[in-house]
Amino acid sequence: ETGVTQSPTHLIKTRGQQVTLRCSSQSGHNTVSWYQQALGQGPQFIFQYYREEENGRGNFPPRFSGLQFPNYSSELNVNALELDDSALYLCASSLQGRDTIYFGEGSWLTVV
Amino acid sequence: KQEVTQIPAALSVPEGENLVLNCSFTDSAIYNLQWFRQDPGKGLTSLLLIQSSQREQTSGRLNASLDKSSGRSTLYIAASQPGDSATYLCAGKSSGDKLTFGTGTRLAVRP
């Protein structure tokens, strides 16, 4: 158990819809990162939040957005879903400046 | 831009064998290199972390090495067991706390 929880675990959406994925970070961790992992691929960095501010972004379009709350939990929002958005979305929490990072079990998103 | 490659993509070995998984990266300016394990449909579990100033790390039957000059890391698994069957991912940490992952090696250990 890493202490990082994600919800929902599985969901199916229709192309063009919007989705919100949630992450509760490990106690005391102030940094949350989101990764997208397509089937058979390694995780790709989407963005990172530190103290409620975006602190780095990967090569993802603006329809991928996020939030971090005062308790350090986080949301990933994806608008105008496309078929290629189907993937496992992983949340990771850490303490800024430290190397230890903990991943949640992920949210499986299928876009049909 | 950091790119990470893992070879082989898949590996099947009989129980008890010693094996080596390979990871190469293009940008030697990494802060550290981590090896993760991922079971099917699950999240990632960190196995070993090697700082850029270190050459290797060991944990139980696992040993990871890092050669920044050649852009390579290896994960050595001794006396493999069926429970080691999983996908193994390496990731380099660059500036901004971003991890760049390889595509993984899918390992199957046959009883």
| Per-residue pLDDT tens digits for A13-32 | 999 999 999 999 988 888 99
Task: Tell me the pairing of strands B32-38 and B44-51.
Answer: antiparallel
Q: How many residues does chain B have?
A: 111
Residues of B with CB under 8 A from a CB of A: 4, 6, 31-32, 34, 36, 41-46, 49, 51, 89, 91, 93, 96-104
Residue A106 carries which side chain, given as an amino acid letter?
G
Distance from CA of A17 to the nearest CA of B (A): 24
pLDDT 10s digits, A60-94: 999 999 999 998 999 999 999 999 999 999 999 98
3 state DSSP class of A70: coil
The Cα–Cα gap between B40 and B85 comes to 10
Query: Do the Cβ atoms of A55 and B97 come within 8 Å?
Result: yes
* A20 in Cβ contact with A76 (< 8 Å): yes
The pLDDT value given to residue B1: 83
pLDDT 10s digits, B61-104: 999 999 999 999 999 999 999 999 999 999 999 876 789 999 99
Q: In this predicted structure, which of A4-8, A92-96, B13-17, B42-46 has the lowest mean pLDDT?
A: A92-96
Query: Do the Cβ atoms of A41 and B103 come within 8 Å?
Result: yes
Other C-beta atoms lying within 10 Å of the C-beta of residue B69: 6
Q: Of A23, A64, A24, nearest to A46 (Cα)?
A: A64
User: Which residue of B lies nearest to A59 if distances are taken between CA atoms?
Assistant: B1
- DSSP tag of A106: -
Q: Of B9, B28, B12, nearest to B104 (Cα)?
A: B9
Query: Do the Cβ atoms of B103 and A106 come within 8 Å?
Result: no
The pLDDT value given to residue B97: 76
**Model confidence at B41, in pLDDT bands (50, 70, 90)?**
confident
Distance from CA of B17 to the nearest CA of A (A): 25
Residue A105 has pLDDT above 90, yes or no: yes
Residue A1 has pLDDT above 80, yes or no: no
Other C-beta atoms lying within 10 Å of the C-beta of residue A59: 8
